[in-house]
Structure 1
Amino acid sequence: MIRLATVDNHEVVREGVAARISAVAPQIEVVASTGTVEELLALDAEPTVVLLDLWLEEGDSLAHIPVLTARTRVLLYTTEQRPVPLRAAVSLGASGLSLKSDPLDSVVEGVGSVAAGEFFCSGALAHALLTDQRAVAELSDRQVEILQALSDGLDYRGVAALLDCSQGAVKTHLSRVRDKFEAIGHQPGNSHHLTRLATEQGYLQRS
């Protein structure tokens, strides 16, 4: 028997998927359904697999993944289709990805695969998001900080003051960011276009 817990801040979603899985998969017992990871950890549920949404009410759930994987396996169950946060989740120990748009039998398959210790990735799109090296421009932490500051509305002078560097350094970093996006097939224009591309890939949160 696979013991399953669902964590999603939308009650209808987590209760709905739990009920549907219970109805079609007698080998899976839903032992908990919570809105936060903290609520789950406070229970004595001991799930085999946690079906975890990547975006919870308090923000992303990335920081919770190592805590969960120390005691169970984690299968992402999310609408997120940007490669950067998905890859970050896997690098932190998530055992796979199931998109909320997937059919129920695929989700059940994913739970079973993860419970058996296998990595699961549903569909060609999800697989590409996690594995296609040309899907992501590999940006440094500093480059992301600069893009985030620009996205927040600062000009070059403001970014330089915030990050304690020169305007020339800001422009150099942006030039390297532009080169990285060009290397994977984009034709970035100004800094606003760069921040949009970084947001689309998941380096920056959508406003």
Structure 2
Amino acid sequence: MTAVPPVVPRVVVVDDNTVVRRAFGVVHEGLDVVASHATVEEYLAAPAPCDVVLLDLRLRGAGGAVGPMQGRPAIRALTDLGRRVCLYTDESRPLVLALCLRSGAHGVAHKSDPPELVTEAVRRVAQGDVVVTPSLVELTEVLDRRAALDLTDRQRDTVAGRARGRSWRDIARSLHITESVAREHYSAACTKLRDFLQGASAADIERALGIGPDDVLGAG
């Protein structure tokens, strides 16, 4: 039987911005921030148990220098430890975020999102869902049109609705289903996206997206 996640997810914040680290738990009252660190290395040195690691995609060292572990290597290090990772970032380029899902991230939340949306994203990641941004929803549509994801009709309809900014209520009404069922279809589509990105080779992904060999993904 699958364990029921806690009502208030335990979160570790990894962000090089001191203000973000200090204020995140205050602004997002529905989350329990159990620790915060400026680098992934700090957390790995003393990894507090948690349900989600909220990870800034780009971490800077002292004086603005690029830190030794960030991006995909940081995601892999945290998931190897058994942690669920939700990115907390300003990055919006679909292929960059797709690579993060490919590396094991469970979700993406933007720093510009309202606190309630970030809180919801973290809760869903804690529950094992895959959470994607609107830019990745559009990528899901592209891959589905190229027959890479094998979405059902309902999954396709909910993805199309979210890609166009429609509310859950509007989508559910048009499909004659409940909002919770609409969310389930959407979550299943997001999971298929992540599974495809993690299971396919770089060449398969490039082919599905219609780009040239090694244009974006390289050999990673």
Counterpart mapping for 1:58-207 below 5 A: 58=66, 60-70=70-80, 71-122=82-133, 124-128=134-138, 132-133=142-143, 138-141=211-214, 143=215
Indicate whether 1:50 and 2:47 are aligned. Answer: no
Match of 2:25 in 1: 18
Displacement, 1:44? 3.7
Q: Are 1:99 and 1:126, in contact at CA under 8 Å, matched by a contact in 2? A: no
The CA distance in 2 between the partners of 1:16 and 1:126, in whole Å, is 28
The CA distance in 2 between the partners of 1:18 and 1:130, in whole Å, is 32
More strand by percentage: 1
The CA distance in 2 between the partners of 1:15 and 1:129, in whole Å, is 34
TM-score (ref. length: structure 2): 0.56
The residue type equivalent to 1:79 in the other structure is D
Mark the structure with the bigger radius of gyration.
Answer: 1
The CA distance in 1 between the partners of 2:57 and 2:210, in whole Å, is 21
The residue type equivalent to 2:211 in the other structure is E
Displacement, 1:131? 5.4
Identity, in percent, stands at 39
The CA distance in 2 between the partners of 1:140 and 1:15, in whole Å, is 43
- Superimposed CA distance per residue, residues 91-146 of structure 1 (whole angstroms, 9 cap, x where no aligned partner): 01100111111110011101110000011124x34532565449x663433x56xx
Displacement, 1:13? 1.8
Question: Helix, strand or coil for the counterpart of 2:124?
Answer: helix
- Gaps of at least 5 residues in structure 2 are 1-5, 61-65, 146-208
Q: Are 2:15 and 2:39, in contact at CA under 8 Å, matched by a contact in 1? A: yes
For this pair of structures, how many residues does the alignment match?
Answer: 140
Question: Helix, strand or coil for the counterpart of 1:108?
Answer: helix
Question: Helix, strand or coil for the counterpart of 1:56?
Answer: coil
The residue type equivalent to 1:30 in the other structure is V
The CA distance in 1 between the partners of 2:113 and 2:123, in whole Å, is 15
Distance 1:34 1:132, change over 3 A: farther
Displacement, 1:82? 1.0
